[in-house]
A and B are shown apart, each in its own frame.
Chain A
């Protein structure tokens, strides 16, 4: 009984590994030491669990439905790995790459924050970041400074011209 269970477990794990390696997924690369320096955390199984949970959250949030299984493989020392998302309705098929991309882009900021990283240090190779629009004030700031200075200078000219006119009349 136990033996059958273990064999099934082993088969399931290798099947998952196979699906990940064969499947068309995204490569993720993390640069934790570069981003955090002394405050960097070590990458271990717990962090990987968080990654899979965060990505499952992103998929669930975007598609508004049930649980997603994230399969990870090809981990390296660099801290980079491949992942694919299993389709919850059909456990032997994978979600399409385009769908995964949409979900990741929608929740990119949340995913980054979970790891205290940014778009450049938590890279999804092939998914371009959506950068925040910079704040544009209603009046360009240079115009305000310009207005102040030109007002002061014109006032100075008027003062000097009137004073010399007055002097000449006297």
Chain B
């Protein structure tokens, strides 16, 4: 067991670690309690997510990672029974749950990529321009430009540039997921939330997405949920470990994996439960 812990803890990626201490806080979670009906899904979460870095959420199934992630763009509004008990979430210091926040504008600034790739049953081109079209942007030359920029940004341009008007559903799973990323970045959000974006992909497609995440972080703040410890160590700068709706430990990724403060964290990352 102990040798496994060492192998996981050793940093797998050779890229230089970002300086996490200097980064400015973008998302600030204060004493957040969250409920599904009467059932509490998150209790007393306090968390500060830094700008232009990758933050990973890990933890066993059902611990509330997705729930917290979906609080950041208020996707939980779609669930009838979901509601915040107390506490707040601030982005740039603005409470996103306050009455005068327009959820539509919020979601424009906080994009999301889902576990199962979900391109619309439309062409590749229409998928990317969707976010702009719903905001009434129709200018062809501008749309063309955005499509190219986003697809290049998602490392997909060379693969699909000749079939932009084919259905997006004819693409491979990995391509579809990168299309979803391209669709998210087309509206130039500040934050991209990713909920297990690679769980349905093979190792090669996963590697491509991870590489992409690394490139995207120069422009975007990324929060990613993952079940894959190696992935967390490879892509993230900071990691938060959740257990039973509580934030157990939150630290620089390198530190959390090599030298966790908490016994539960250690047990989880060494595979003793989860």
A and B pair up: no
